[in-house]
Amino acid sequence: MDRINTSHRSKSLWTITCLLLLVTLLIGGCSGAARNPSSSAGEGTGASGSNGTETNQGQTPPSTPEAPEEPEKPADPAAKLLDELSTEEKIGQLVLVGMDGTEPNDVTRQLIEEYHVGGFIFYKNNIQDTKQALALFNGLKTANQNKAVPLFLSVDEEGGRVSRMPGELAKLPAARKIGNTGSTELAGQIGEIIGKELAGFGLNLDFAPVLDVNSNPDNPVIGDRAFGTKPEIVSRMGIAVMKGIQEQGIIPVVKHFPGHGDTSVDSHLGLPVVEHDLDRLQKLELVPFKQAIQEGADVVMIAHLLMPKLDPDHPASFSKAVIHDLLREELGYEGTIISDDMTMGAIVEHYDIRDAAVQFIQSGGNIVLVGHDAEKEKQVIQALRDAVNSGTISTETLDERVYDVLKLKQKYQLSNDPAQGPNTKQLNQDISDILKPYGL
């Protein structure tokens, strides 16, 4: 009996011992399994023989990244240059003048040095041949060398009867002949040729193309200078020429806003009166200008026309109703605006040129063109100075007008660097090649 009990107790102790051993193994296994994820994470981060808790204890919590600084806005070079100009220098940028003679002289030097003019326009009497023309243009650039703002050097180069290029260069056909072909490809090529010619001489602005619709057969001043009698053809051909000129780095000026095509008076001699209302203008005369603005026209020239239904008291060239209300506001034009020549009969026979110039700037214009007579050029500049000094033209208005001019000059990278001259032989060959297929 005692042996049986002793044996039973021995078996019970053995069983308990086994159970305790099993529990110990199970607890150890669970503990080891609990460390494995941390150990793996530690190994994955390069920690050797350390569990996750030990690894994290040795690390600095990640900091919240700082918000990146906003990049500085790019500097506006036109605004910077504007700030550097004196009031008299600013006023000079609002005037583009003509000159007498075929070479720089005391008057042109005075206009540059004392009156700070923004540029020059050249007519046929200023240009004799290629060599002389190049010397003239480069001479004016040299005279302007110490100025912060390069000069506009400009001509009327339309082709046909309005051409200023020297006789060594082949003549281009009038706009009407180009329009009659119906080829916008040809029109674009004509624009490119004009641009190359001007660029070769170091010129930088062309008073072309004409966007007038020649709707009056008795018109004494437009005629074959227009691309046609329909706004659609004038738009297509004129804009193609405009873009061709732009592609050569030359500034085109579309003219004569709001439309000189239905006049019977030459504004060089007298003041034309156009009786059309805005509804008629929207359907015909304004169509090419609207499209040119949409296609990137840089400069618009304002004509000397009296349009009583828009403004009975002022010609378009210094009418707030035409320049600001119609061109700026209704058509949304934000580019540069230049007047037609203020020494034309339409102005000097009826108005004081000084008052006309001041009112042009007040009405939203940027550049007063004074193509002839050095005394009138100086009078206009002095009138603008007086208007600014008296507050008739506010400082804010002055800065707005000049800013547009500076921005345009910088866009086209105008400089005082001398030109090397055109490749006359190549240009003449190019002209022949593009005209031949059209029998022109």
Confidence of residue 270 (pLDDT cuts 50, 70, 90): confident
Q: What percent of the chain has pLDDT over 70?
A: 83
Residue percentage of the chain with pLDDT more than 90: 78
User: Which pLDDT band holds residue 75 (cuts at 50, 70, 90)?
Assistant: confident
Residue 31 pLDDT > 70:
no
Burial of residue 9 (CB within 10 Å: 0-12, 13-18, 19+) is exposed
Please state, in angstroms and rounded to a whole number, the distance separating the CA atoms of residues 275 and 278: 10
Strands 95-97 and 299-302 turn out to be: unpaired
- Does residue 150 lie in a domain region? yes
What whole-number distance in Å separates Cα of residue 276 and Cα of residue 284? 10
The better pLDDT of the pair 262, 437 is held by: 437
Among the listed residues 186, 220, 192, 219, the one whose alpha carbon sits nearest the alpha carbon of residue 206:
192
What DSSP element (H or E) covers 207? Answer: none
- Cα 352 from Cα 350, distance rounded (Å): 7
Whether residue 42 has pLDDT greater than 60? no
In the β-sheet with 299-302, what is the strand arrangement from edge to edge? 336-339, 299-302, 251-257, 205-206, 152-155, 119-122, 95-97, 368-370
Would you say residue 73 lies in a domain?
A: no
What is the predicted pLDDT for the residue at 267?
76
Q: Across residues 354-360, what is the average pLDDT?
A: 98
pLDDT tens digit string along 45-67?
333 333 343 344 445 555 555 66
What pLDDT is recorded for position 8?
42
**Residue 96 corresponds to which tokens in the numbers above?**
């583009």
Question: For residue 3, is pLDDT > 80?
Answer: no
Average pLDDT, integer, range 320-340: 98
Please tell me the predicted confidence (pLDDT) of residue 74: 72
Number of domains in the chain: 1
Q: Any idea which residues carry the catalytic annotation? A: 268, 340
Helices 231-247 + 184-201 axis angle, to 10? 40
pLDDT at 326 over 90: yes
How does residue 71 score in pLDDT terms, banded at 50, 70 and 90? low
Q: Which residue shows structure tokens 């150990």? A: 39
Range of the domain at 248: 89-433
Residues 6+ apart with CB under 8 A from 216: 261, 262, 263, 264
CATH of the domain at 108: 3.20.20.300
Nearest to 86 by CA among 60, 109, 116, 49: 116
- The pairing of strands 95-97 and 152-155 is unpaired
- Taken in order 88, 91, 96, 98, is the CA torsion positive or negative? negative
Yes or no: say if 166 and 129 are a contact pair by the CB < 8 Å rule: yes
**What tens digit of pLDDT does each residue of 367-425 get?**
999 999 999 999 999 999 999 999 999 999 999 999 999 999 999 999 999 999 999 99
The answer to whether residue 388 sits within a structural domain is: yes
Has residue 335 been placed in a domain? Answer: yes
Cα(247)–Cα(253) distance, integer angstroms: 14
pLDDT at 311 over 70: yes
Reported as a single tens digit per residue, the pLDDT across 220-242 is: 789 999 999 999 999 999 999 99
pTM, whole model, 2 decimals?
0.83
Domain contains 31: no
Sequence-ordered alpha helix ranges (H) in 332-437: 345-348, 353-362, 374-390, 395-411, 424-435
Q: What does the alpha-carbon distance between residue 343 and residue 340 come to, in Å, rounded to a whole number? A: 9
Q: Which helix (H) or strand (E) holds 276?
A: none
Evaluate whether residue 54 is within a structural domain: no
Of 215, 245, 239, which is closest to residue 228 (Cα–Cα)?
A: 215
Residue 280 scores a pLDDT above 80: yes
Longest pairwise C-alpha distance within the chain: 153
Tell me the pLDDT tens digit for each residue of 85-124.
999 999 999 999 999 999 999 999 999 999 999 999 999 9
Mean pLDDT of the chain: 88
Q: Do the domain assignments include residue 309? A: yes
Asked if residue 72 belongs to a domain, the reply is no
The answer for residues whose C-beta is within 8 angstroms of residue 273's C-beta and 6 or more apart is: 265, 305, 306, 307, 308
